[in-house]
Structure 1
Amino acid sequence: MRSNAERSLSPSGSVIALALLGAAACLAIAFSLASGAVSIPLHEIWRYLFQDYAGPMKEVIWNIRLPRTLVAALVGVHLALAGALLQGVMRNPLADPHIIGVSSGAGLAGVTLLILFPHLPWLLTPAAFAGALLAAAIIYGLAWRGGIQPVRIILAGVAVSAFLGSGISALLTFYSDRVGGALVFLVGGLAAKSWPQLNVMLPYSAIGVAITLAGSAHMNIMGLGDANAKGLGMRLEATRLLMTAAAALLAASAVSVVGLLGFVGLIVPHSARLLIGGDYRVLLPASALLGAAVVTTCDTIARLAFAPIELPVGVLMGVLGAPFFLYLLRRDAD
C-alpha cells in the first residue's frame, strides 16, 4: 500500500474536492427524493420539506422517500468509513468488510437472531457488532506472524468468510421454514426502510464517526510502517484495535439495517484515494461523502431500473464491485 503522504492534495485542493463530493451527495439525495413511481419536481420537494405546504405527495416524501434516502446515505457513510479504516489498519487496498469476513461475522449473528430469535429485533445491531468484532479478531489473529502482511490478511479473510458463510447456509437449510425474513438480509436491500431503522443507526453513527475522525492523524502515522509508528511513540496495537473496533461497529450497524451489502467499502475508499490522495484527515470525510452518494444513487437506480419490480441494491453493488475488485487484484499483481 502506498504511503499516505503520496499524491495528497493541497489544503485548498482538499477543500474544493470535499465541496464537490458534498455537492454530489446532495444531488444524489435530491435525485432519490424526486424519483419514483411518480416524479416530483425539486421545487415541490423543497416546499414539502421546509415550508408549510400541503399536497398529495407530502406523505410519500416524509414517510417513504426521505427516511429511505437518509438510511441509504448513512449506510454508504458507514461502509465507506469501515472500508477505509480496514484498508489502513491492514495495509491492504483490497480490504473490505465484505471481502475479508467482517460483514460475514455480522451477517451470521444477524441471520441467527432473525431465524432463532425473531421476537428480539432490538438485539440485531448489538449482535451484529459482536459478530463483526469477533470475525475481525479471528482474521487479525490468523494473519499475525510478527506483523501484518497484506496477503495473509486477504487469505485469512477469505477463509473466515467462507467458514461463516457455511454457517449461514447451514442455518438456512435447517430452518428453511423461517428464511423469509433472512433472504433480503443476505442480498442487501433498502426496501421498506424508514424512520425506525434510521433511529437505530444514529447512535452507532455518532460513536463510530467520532472515533474514526479523531483517529485520522493516527491512521496517517500508521501508514508510515510499524517501525516508524512505534518510533514516533504510537501505541500501535492499541490504535489498531480501536480503529478495527470502530470499523466493526460501523459495518455491523449498516449490516443490521440493510443486510450484507458488499463492495461499498472496497470501491468507495479506493476511488476517494485516487481522487484526493492518502491523507486520512481528508480521505475519511471524502470517503463518507462519496459513500453516501454512491449507495443513494445505486438504490435509486435499483428502484427504477425494473419498475414496478424493485431490484435489491446489493445486486447492483455486486455487479459493480466484482469487476472493480478483479481490477485492483490484477493491478497489484503487476
Structure 2
Amino acid sequence: MSSRVSDRNRQRSRRAEEGRFAWIHDRKLIGLCAASAALVVAFGLIQVTFGSYSMTVPAAWGAVFDPAVLLDERYLLDYFLGEGLMRTITGFQGEELPQLATETLIVWNIRLPRVFVAAFVGMNLAVSGAIFQAVTRNELASPFILGVSSGAGLMILLSLVVFSSLTAFLPIVAALGGSIAFLIVYAIAWKNGTSPVRLVLAGVIVGTVFSSLQTAMFFFADDIGVVQTAISWTTGSLTGVGWEQVRIILPWTILSMLLAVLSARQLNVLLLGEQTARALGVSVEKVRFALSGVAVLAAAASIAVAGIVSFVGLIVPHLVRTVVGSDYKKLVIGCLFAGPALMVAADVGARLGMMVVTGATSGQLPVGIVTGLIGGPYFLYLMRRKQNLGEI
C-alpha cells in the first residue's frame, strides 16, 4: 500500500515538474529565440566586417573564430576579465601574449566588443522594460518613459562633470539615479494606489525635469571633451566602447538576468492584480519594490556603458508579447534573445548608415537616434491600434 502511495506521489511530482518547464517546449518561443540569435550573428558579422579597414566576409568570419584566440584561455581571460586577473589565474607573468594576425587584432580588439556591448545593452533594456510593465501593469512602461533613464543619466553626468572620482563606479551611480527617479515617479503617481495613466504622466514629468537638469550640466563643463562625452551619454552611443565596457556590464547583466528569470512567477502573479496577488499570499509591495530594483539595476548597467538608449525597453517586450503571450516565463526568455537582436541591428544601422549615405568611413550616428527613429513611429502605431492602450 505504501509503495503505491509513494508511486503516485512520484508521478504527481513528475507531472508538476513537467508542467513547470512546459514553456521550454513552446514552438513560438523557440522560433523567436532562434530567429533572434540568427539576427545577432548576421548583424554581428556585418559589424565586424565593415569599417575603415575593410575585409571580406570569410576573412572576418575567420578572425572571429581564430583558433589562436579561442583555443588560448589567456586571450579569453584577458578580454573578459582583464589582464591583471588573467595573469593571476594563469600565472603568465612578465611576458607578452603571442602576436595575432592583423584581421584578428582588429576584430577582437575593436569591433567584436562593440557587438557584445550592444547585445548586453539590448538584453538589459528589454528585460527591464518587461519587468516595469508587469510591476505597473502598464504596457507603456519602460525605463525611458518612467524616468529611470533620465535619472540614471543625470547621475552619470554629475559623475563626469562634477565628481570625476566616481567614474569607476558608474553602474552603482546610475542605479542610484534610476532608483531615485523611479521612487519620485511612484510617489507622484500614488493616490490610494496607482494607475497606468498616472504612472506614465508622472514618468513624463520626472523625465522632462531630469532631462532639463542634464542640459544644465553642460554649462558647468569647461572641457570640450567632457561636453562631447556628455552628449554621447544623453543620446546613447556605442562609439569607442571596448572590452572595458564589456567587463563593466557583464557581471551586472548576469545578476539581473538571473534574478529576472527566477522572478517570472512573481511577475505573473502581479499581472493578476493586487487583490488576487494578496489572496495568493504575496506581499505585493515588497515584491513590487524588489522587482523594481532588478529592473533599475538592469537599466542602469546599460546606461553606464551606452548612455540613454530610448524605446528598446518599450518595443521589445511588446513585440515578444505578441508572439509568445503574456506568460513571463516565456516573455523574459524571449526578451533575452530579442533585445540583443534589435540593439545589434540598430547599432549596425548607426555605424554603417552614414557610411552608405555619405561614403565616409569615420562618421556614425548615435545608436539612441536609430532606436528613437524606430520606437517613435511604433509608439504612435500602438496608440492608434489599441483602444485601451496602457493596461496589460
Q: TM-score, normalised by structure 2?
A: 0.79
Match runs of 1:28-43 below 5 Å: 28-43=43-58
1:174-209 CA-to-partner distances (Å, cap 9, x unmatched) read 436442321111111001100000000111112111
Is the aligned partner of 1:50 residue 2:65? yes
- Residue of structure 2 aligned with 1:131, choices 172, 177, 181: 177
Is the aligned partner of 1:313 residue 2:367? yes
Query: What is the aligned partner in structure 2 of residue 212 from structure 1?
Result: 260
Distance 1:116 1:268 in 2: 35
State the shift of 1:38 in Å.
4.5
Distance 2:205 2:66 in 1: 53
State the shift of 1:233 in Å.
1.2
- Residue of structure 2 aligned with 1:322, choices 368, 372, 376: 376
Is contact 2:48-2:112 (8 Å) kept? yes
Distance 1:139 1:30 in 2: 41
Distance 2:284 2:166 in 1: 38
Describe the SS at the equivalent of 2:102: coil
Distance 1:236 1:260 in 2: 30
Moved more, 157-166 or 172-181: 172-181
Is the aligned partner of 1:108 residue 2:154? yes
RMSD (CA atoms): 1.9
Is the aligned partner of 1:234 residue 2:282? yes
Q: Which amino acid aligns with 2:44?
A: I
Query: What is the aligned partner in structure 2 of residue 284 from structure 1?
Result: 332
Is contact 2:151-2:181 (8 Å) kept? yes
Match runs of 1:88-237 below 5 Å: 88-175=134-221, 177=223, 178-237=226-285
Distance 1:285 1:36 in 2: 33
Query: What is the aligned partner in structure 1 of residue 85 from structure 2?
Result: none
Q: Which amino acid aligns with 1:227?
A: Q
Q: Which amino acid aligns with 2:256?
A: G
State the shift of 1:324 in Å.
1.4
State the structure with bigger RCO (CA 8 A, min sep 6), 1 or 2: 1
Is contact 1:99-1:158 (8 Å) kept? yes
State the shift of 1:98 in Å.
0.9
Is the aligned partner of 1:23 residue 2:43? no
Distance 1:13 1:290 in 2: 13
Distance 1:175 1:14 in 2: 48
Query: What is the aligned partner in structure 2 of residue 12 from structure 1?
Result: 27
Describe the SS at the equivalent of 1:125: helix
Distance 1:292 1:189 in 2: 15
Percent identity between the aligned chains?
35
Q: Which runs of 5+ in 2 are unaligned?
A: 1-22, 69-99, 356-360
1:273-307 CA-to-partner distances (Å, cap 9, x unmatched) read 11211111111111121110111111111111112
Moved more, 177-186 or 298-307: 177-186
Q: Which runs of 5+ in 1 are unaligned?
A: 1-7
Describe the SS at the equivalent of 1:120: helix
- Residue of structure 1 aligned with 2:313, choices 241, 255, 265: 265
State the shift of 1:42 in Å.
4.2
Is contact 1:94-1:329 (8 Å) kept? no
Is contact 1:82-1:248 (8 Å) kept? yes
Equivalent residue pairs, number: 327
Kindly tell me: are residues 48 and 9 of structure 1, through their superposed partners in 2, closer, same or farther at Cα, counting changes over 3 Å? closer
State the shift of 1:17 in Å.
3.0
State the shift of 1:125 in Å.
1.5
Distance 1:297 1:13 in 2: 22
1:85-137 CA-to-partner distances (Å, cap 9, x unmatched) read 11111111111111120000100100011111234320221111100011111
Is contact 2:268-2:328 (8 Å) kept? yes
Q: Which has more radius of gyration?
A: 2
Moved more, 138-147 or 24-33: 24-33
Moved more, 43-52 or 110-119: 43-52
State the shift of 1:333 in Å.
4.2
State the shift of 1:329 in Å.
2.7
Match runs of 1:293-304 below 5 Å: 293-304=341-352
State the shift of 1:71 in Å.
0.4
Q: TM-score, normalised by structure 1?
A: 0.92
Distance 2:38 2:255 in 1: 25
Kindly tell me: are residues 52 and 17 of structure 1, through their superposed partners in 2, closer, same or farther at Cα, counting changes over 3 Å? closer
Is contact 2:33-2:338 (8 Å) kept? no
1:141-175 CA-to-partner distances (Å, cap 9, x unmatched) read 22122322100100110111111112112222343
Distance 1:212 1:10 in 2: 20
State the shift of 1:37 in Å.
3.5
